[in-house]
Structure 1
Amino acid sequence: MGKLKRDKRKSLRSSITSSFYLMLGLSVVAAFLTWAILFVIFALLLQNERVNPANYYEGQIPALVEYMNEQEHILDSAAKEIVEKRIPLEGLDYQVVNLAGEIVYGTIAKSYIDSGSDLLTKLNTNLYDRNFFVKYYPLLDEQGLLQGAVGFRYQLSVLAANQEGKAVLYPLAILTFLTPFFYIFLFSYVIGKRLSSRIEKPFNKIIESANRIRNHELDFSLSYMDSTEELNQLMLAFEEMKEALKESLEQQWKLERERKEMVAAIAHDLKTPLTIIQGHVEGLIEAKNQNPERQQRYLDTIYKSCLRSIQLIKELNELSKLEQAEFTLQAAEVNAVNWLREKASQYELLCEEKHISFHAQVIDNRSEQSPVWLDVERMEQVIDNIFMNSLRFTPDNGDIKWLTKVDEQYLTLELLDSGPGFASKNPSKVFEKFYREDAARSGDSGHSGLGLFIAQTIVKKHGGEISAANHEAGGAYVKIRVKSLKPDAGQAP
């Protein structure tokens, strides 16, 4: 990991200020775009007569006035019923007055005419009553003489002109009004999340480093992050504190570290003499001596024991490496489907040599081809170990079934063979360190009891789980489920 640098970055104050202006600018642009889209939609609805225009009721007034002038005795209150059958009362209020300006009938109780002379001045003139328009039109008798007037009160608005569509138009109007506030909230959340991410990463890194220190791990450095000046200074201070703490705790942890190193050293030192013995035994096998048949049998036994010892040393070294606090997975993006199909092809060839029927199926349940992050080398170690166990204990002409599923977060592998299964009543014991079964799957080949423990350790480091059972139809069943690691998760320092 890169060392922290004492360079100048944007301050926290300037980061917050620039984020605010960015949020405000994006909100304004998005609101205007939304209003433009709504305007186009509304214009299309008007054009197709799906929505009434604002002057819908005002446009009906001339025809109504003409109709009322055609009626006899229009100033008689008995004409009210006939008139109201024609007037759309949901959008128009009306009032019939005589020549003196007195109200004869109508739905408007308020008087806007004070006298006969006032009536003459207000005919065909727009009056205003808050957000309503009021206009009086002359009523003429058969000789064309003025006998009174009819006044209409209405609103010039889309909502008033679409009484039946209020349930839809009101929410749309409210939505139009709230659009800027929605975008302010949205972009505040998105930009705030981005800013908080820049701020949270250093804190998370410090928390992670604090946990590593708690686990007696001090051989690491805080990586440099593109954050604010203040947080970079905080991380630098934490790095300096960690170095000081490392020096003060060095003696305290020395004994514990030496104990772990001793186990690794013994495993490493045993490997050299065992390898030499292997070389000498191979030479003896090639030599011609007396009673060669017996000598060959002994040498074969020694040779196999050496191989098993070397394998044990390898597994001990591997176990020591996995149990070290500083061990981390090397996560990388992998095409899981192609990788699994390639492994299936390899296993199929091995099964053919033993005349075993191999059935493999790879199911991709991802809605999108989202990447899968794994430590491929370690996962191959796990899968190879499980498969080789099945191959070893499955008899000739037997069956091995391998099902793999890939989804957005998990990789699931299920392996079923037609072998003798696990001898233990509790198959989960096979994952214990140095555990050996004394029957069915132990065989006579011998093993260290570390393979499945190592496999379980690797799976757990992937945030997953592994289980073993005896299948109802016979044979061993092993299931592995691991998480797709996040980018940079488990990367070595």
Structure 2
Amino acid sequence: MELIKNKSYTLFWLFLEQLLWLAACFLMEIFVFILLFNIALNSGFILPANYAEHYLEINKSIIGKSEPFDKALIPYTCKYGLFDFNGNYLSGDFSEDIVDDAKVFIKDAKKSNNRFILIERANEYCVIQYDISVHFSSYTLDKLFPKFELMYLILFFIIFIVIVINNALHFGRKLKKELKPVLEEISQIQNRELNVERKNSKIKEFNDILLSLYDMETALSQSLKKEWETEQKRKSNISALAHDIKTPLTVIKGNSELILEENNIAEIYQLADLINSNSDRIERYIKLLIDETNNTLTSGNEEKVTLTTLIDGIIKASEVICNLHGIEQITHNKVFEVDIIINRDLVERAVLNLIQNAIEHTNSKKMIKLYFECLENKLVISVEDFGKGFTSEALKYAKNQFYTEKSERSEEHYGLGMYFASNVAEKYNGGITYYNKSDQTGAMVIFEIKIC
């Protein structure tokens, strides 16, 4: 099974495409953050990291000369402390730890832990602590977010996580969309919804799975069809067997009635022999019925039979049925003696079905004619009756299972007889033909099977 060829790609390229898309989003985020940082820096919204250091270097002399000390000259990002020349803390906004570190700085600048700048005034030292960090130019924002770099980095990672999650959701939706035909096909196979519209996926691996599933679906469809046909054939065989038991039962019943009326002991023995032989037929049919119920009827049951023996059996059984119905049987037998491998019961039943049908529908001359001959490696059996013949509808549908034409052909007989006989003929590479005679005095049915 082939799918409509559309542009497809492998899972590798799908994952690579998604990875490249994620990388592009990451680079774009970096670019946007750098751009925003530069805009904020150039617009004065934020202060550069060296702002305090640069400011103090420029305004160092002003701070040193201001009298009295003006703390407004100190940037809000910095802290200050005033010390006398002996290193004693006078005033400022240093914490205790910073005061101690500032004293160390006054004595030896290299040993301090913080960044300080020392401004010598007239009567004191002014020590200013500063940092190398970006700050908001707004005092309020700086107090709310004193660690600008940390805040900016956290914001960067939050947005990056949002991008990753959105990318994963997008990838999941895309993968689910391409996987949907596979899941639908699996569901259809589970529910035995076969022969539905074929779909495809843009991903090569999923298409390969779909192809495998479609092959599986085709195999399942064929298997179910075969199973259904086997079941129908089994039911048909069971129905045909049950139908064919009627013929020997009719013989037994008719001869039983004759025995009650017969006084000649020799004639009674002959009738009893007919009852016995037809009882054997019923026994064989019942065995076939049991075999069919167990699904073993079609597994073999062929045997080597002499052709003349087969024909003699058919002729004798037919004579009994004809006698019961008061019908004359005229037989033309031209077969020669040859061994064939065949299911004798099946062939006998098939031919007797046709004969029974002819007996039931011959009326004008109260007779039937049987012709047995071998032509071109085929056994040809022709059954001629002298009734009304087939209707135009029956000529079309007589071999169909359960077809019946109540006004012409028996509901019992044409429902199964012709259908069964046709199946048996086809089993042995033959067939059935039937037609009305040109003089409108009945019909001819021809049964053919290959014998070698």
Determine if the TM-score, normalized by the shorter chain, exceeds 0.5: no
Of Structure 1 and Structure 2, the greater helix share is in 2
Structure with larger RCO (C-alpha < 8 A, sep 6+): 1
TM-score for both structures, normalised by structure 2:
0.40
